[in-house]
């Protein structure tokens, strides 16, 4: 298509658009005047607009409590945050991580390894692609390995106790074989295999 034909088609199309759109004058009413507001109302409105959402406030408070060592308060705020419906995924992730750490720390008054595993598993499932999700999976693996090592230590401790009892029994048997007279030697010579 040549440029002249294109211009002609464009002009005809534009003309049809104008005719079919009903370009008529619409009398509009002027906007209603806005009632003047007091500076206090304007300041309050500006303050409301600047206030962060509730989930952000709760997370900020929970983080401050956690960092100050007030783990019970931090846990309560994080649980409250997780119970809310309109929490951002990032804040939900941070709250879950914080709860998992509170339950995982041995010095925490809320130390509960089972609950920590539950929190970490949920974090891994809900936020698997995030860095905290990866850390949660790593910690779960580490905790599983730790449980396995603890099981091995318990087995070895039990075996050591059994061996100690056996050695003590053998020592007593050996002492009972010694002559009761003051000869000091064994009544039977020891036979050693060649």
Q: What is the pLDDT of residues 125-176, one digit of tens each?
A: 999 899 999 999 999 999 999 999 999 999 999 999 999 999 999 999 988 8
Look up residue 185 and give its DSSP letter. Answer: S
DSSP H helices in the chain = 3-20, 39-50, 54-67, 71-83, 89-104, 113-126, 131-177
On whether the pTM is more than 0.85, the answer is: no
Query: Over 70: is that where the pLDDT of 53 sits?
Result: yes
Structure tokens at 51: 């206030």
* Number of residues written out for the chain: 194
């Amino acid at each position: 298509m040549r440029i002249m034909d294109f211009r002609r088609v464009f002009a005809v199309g534009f003309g049809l658009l104008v005719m079919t759109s009903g370009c008529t004058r619409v009398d509009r009413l002027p906007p209603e005047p806005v009632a003047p507001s007091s500076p206090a109302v304007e300041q309050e409105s500006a303050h409301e607009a600047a206030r962060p959402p509730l989930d952000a406030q709760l997370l900020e408070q929970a983080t401050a409590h956690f960092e100050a060592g007030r783990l019970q308060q931090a846990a309560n705020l994080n649980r409250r945050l997780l119970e809310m419906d309109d929490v951002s995924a990032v804040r939900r992730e941070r709250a879950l991580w914080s709860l998992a750490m509170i339950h995982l720390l041995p010095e925490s008054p809320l130390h509960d390894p089972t609950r920590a595993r539950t929190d970490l598993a949920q974090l891994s499932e809900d936020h698997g692609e995030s860095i905290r999700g990866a850390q949660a999976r790593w910690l779960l693996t580490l905790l599983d390995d730790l449980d396995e090592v603890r099981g091995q230590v318990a087995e070895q401790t039990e075996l050591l106790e059994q061996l100690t009892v056996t050695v003590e029994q053998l020592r007593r048997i050996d002492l009972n074989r010694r002559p009761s007279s003051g000869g000091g030697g064994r009544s039977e010579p020891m036979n050693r295999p060649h």
